[in-house]
Amino acid sequence: MSRGICVLASGGFDSCVLLGELLRRGQRVFPLYVRCGYSWEDAELHWLRRYLKALPRRCREPLVVAEAPMRPLLRSHWSLDRRRVPAADAAWETIYLPGRNLVLLSLAGIYCAQKGLHRIAIGSLKGNPFPDATPAFIRSMSRVMGRALGRAVEVRAPYRRLSKRAVLHRGRDLPLRLSFSCLNPKGLAHCGVCSKCGERDEALEILDRLSRSA
């Protein structure tokens, strides 16, 4: 049985800390990025690759990019056409991407079956309100993938009981300035006004306070 772990990598703070922590522990990490055709993915992938290059190479496998186009299913949606992108003060439900984790974990399960892996890690946090980030959903996905693939596959969400601040504290010595989280990037830069940019600004303030108190 392979002792490696597939990590769903998005380029945001949470998955960046998860990647860094697992590598620090000497885990053999297989980063997986799933492209769905969303408007931010080119910029996100650029910064994810830069972040990975800044991490130790020991135990880190090359990034794999899988494709799962959502346009035929979602058609007119802000994540694809950039219309009415949720602003920094938008309600949580406005940024929900239907079945996001369902898609990511399904592809990760297939990848694990091909690579002989038995574990998937995802960086869901305590405050995530969406139905495909609950502990019950995570447990169910482990069971379903085990049956579908004919092999044990465990989905782990190690930050599910942690706040954003707690996760940032664990990753305060990582190159998190290379993370990327924006719904409507301008080239490779953050737009500065969307919901994710608002969250990022708050996270950067937390990191600044943590560095000053160190």
43 and 156 in contact (C-beta within 8 Å)?
A: no
CA angle 118, 108, 37 (to 5 degrees): 170
DSSP the chain: ----EEEE--SSHHHHHHHHHHHHTT--EEEEEEE---TTHHHHHHHHHHHHHHS--TTBPPPEEEE---HHHH-S-HHHH-TT--BTT--GGGG--TTHHHHHHHHHHHHHHHHT--EEE----TT--SGGGSHHHHHHHHHHHHHHHTS--EEE-TTTT--HHHHHHHTTTS-GGG----SS-BTTB--SSBHHHHHHHHHHHHHHHHHHH-
Q: What is the residue whose two structure tokens read 């959903």? A: 137
Q: Is 104 exposed, middle or buried (0-12, 13-18, 19+ CB in 10 A)?
A: buried
- Domains contained in the chain, CATH given: 5-213 (3.40.50.620)
What is the pTM for the complete model shown? 0.94
Confidence at 214, pLDDT banded by 50, 70, 90: low
pLDDT per position as a tens digit, 117-143 = 999 999 999 888 889 999 999 999 999
Confidence at 96, pLDDT banded by 50, 70, 90: confident
The pLDDT assigned to 213 comes to: 81
